[in-house]
Structure 1
Amino acid sequence: MRLLEYVLVFFGLVGLYIAIHVPGGPIPVLLLAAGLIVVYLRRAGVRLLRAGALRALPGVLLLWAVVSVLAVVAVAAFDRDHLFDLPRREPLLWLLIIVFYPLVSVYPQELLFRAFLLRRYEPVFGTGPAAAAASAAAFGFAHLLFGNVLAVLATIAGGWLFARRYQRTGSLLVVSVEHALYGITIFTVGLGQYFYHGAASL
């Protein structure tokens, strides 16, 4: 029954949302879902913030730095006109994204695709790679909203990384920081065009 629920929620409802183009973008829906999920997780006794897990941050930062350098090299090689496009052309918008993206987009997504999904569907997928794959698949599918293959492939990879990190640390804070760092890299180096539709950004 929970497997069916997983499919209906993360593919049925999300697919319907993508298909009907709900006005206002996904942020209001994400924030509403996040509020409900916090209530659910508190009742389930799940601890969302584990300060001790911050010892994982050096590894997080090292991997992020390597990926960020590779992203700069890739954009410079294949799409030089867009390299650092957003901070160069719209610095105020870039700053607003840096400040608000982690709060109104990243944290609600991590609540939904990591804390809730991995807890709710543990009886179906367990606590290992299968569960991480389920999280990554749902996360990538949701990014069909942006209508391009790069967004989907990148978020499948990111979804796997964040899910495995959450499984190891049990800290939503750590995975939210990691997710925010990669998002900031995307919007900074010139890949934001694939992940940003004005107020509809995820």
Structure 2
Amino acid sequence: MILRTKILLIVEFLGIFVAIPLALVLGPQIVPPMPILWLAAAYGLIALYRDPNYRRSELWNPGPLRRQLSSMLLLFAMGIAVIGALVYEFAHPVLFSFVRAHPIVWALVMVLYPVLSVYPQGILFRAFLLHRYRNLFGAPPQKEKALILLSAFSFSLMHVVFRNWVAVALTFAGGVLFARRHLATRSLFVSSFEHALYGCFIFTVGLGQYFFAKLV
């Protein structure tokens, strides 16, 4: 029974986190990625609500933010310094190009992106994935490390839909950071807050062009 359950979980994981992104990038991209994300996140949310072993409070739980904020902001400051310097050195024409060219659209993205994109991704790649597949691995701390890598890999792979290495590389690094934060706090609010910080900066600094999918 345990073996059968694990096999079903592996099949489910491959279907959601491998087959879908590969189908999107290899086939004609007729449907925009966002509705697919929302559907997948809805599936994950329903599965979590039906799981008696999952604490639903983790889907929000802003309490841990206060004690995490200083380390989070320190890492964020270091991250934006490195990314900003790289953009300035190697892609100077795009630096703040979105803000300068489309300030109103940029402002809307800053408001809507955390709600329509970050939180659904948090449900799928952190709340759902880190809980659903926890029993596929051994005992801690190996289990935690494996789950973090699995979350980061899945988060990164989903971004192949944008068809560039920049999105894939940045989301793998971010995926490690956000998964670690989620496991440390058991708070989707906190990990999503951190995700939103980096995502909004990426759009602001001019790298948002690497996170748009063109329908073909």
TM-score, normalised via structure 2 length: 0.86
User: Alpha-carbon deviation of 1:181?
Assistant: 0.7
Structure 2: gaps (5+ residues)? 1-6
Aligned positions of 1:1-202 closer than 5 A: 1=7, 2-44=9-51, 45-47=54-56, 48-54=59-65, 55-125=67-137, 127-197=143-213
Structure 1: gaps (5+ residues)? none
Deviations 1:59-113 (A, max 9, x none): 1122112211222211111111111110011111111110111111110011001
Instruction: Find the aligned partners of 1:73 and 1:49 in 2 and give their Cα distance.
Output: 34
User: Alpha-carbon deviation of 1:46?
Assistant: 2.6
Q: Which 10-residue stretch deviates more, 66-75 or 11-20?
A: 11-20
SS where residue 98 of structure 1 aligns? helix
User: Alpha-carbon deviation of 1:24?
Assistant: 4.1
SS where residue 23 of structure 1 aligns? coil
Taking only aligned residues, the RMSD between alpha carbons, in angstroms, comes to 1.7
SS where residue 64 of structure 2 aligns? helix
Instruction: Find the aligned partners of 1:96 and 1:29 in 2 and give their Cα distance.
Output: 21
TM-score, normalised via structure 1 length: 0.91
Instruction: Find the aligned partners of 2:15 and 2:31 in 1 and give their Cα distance.
Output: 23
User: Alpha-carbon deviation of 1:17?
Assistant: 2.6
> How has the CA–CA distance of structure 1 residues 18 and 46 changed in structure 2, closer, same or farther, with 3 Å as cutoff?
farther
> How has the CA–CA distance of structure 1 residues 24 and 9 changed in structure 2, closer, same or farther, with 3 Å as cutoff?
closer
Deviations 1:121-179 (A, max 9, x none): 11113541001111111111111111111111111111111111111110000111111
Instruction: Find the aligned partners of 2:94 and 2:24 in 1 and give their Cα distance.
Output: 30
> How has the CA–CA distance of structure 1 residues 28 and 145 changed in structure 2, closer, same or farther, with 3 Å as cutoff?
same
Length, aligned pairs only = 199
Confirm or deny: 8 A CA contact 1:125 1:134 kept in the other structure: no
Instruction: Find the aligned partners of 1:197 and 1:8 in 2 and give their Cα distance.
Output: 21
SS where residue 212 of structure 2 aligns? coil
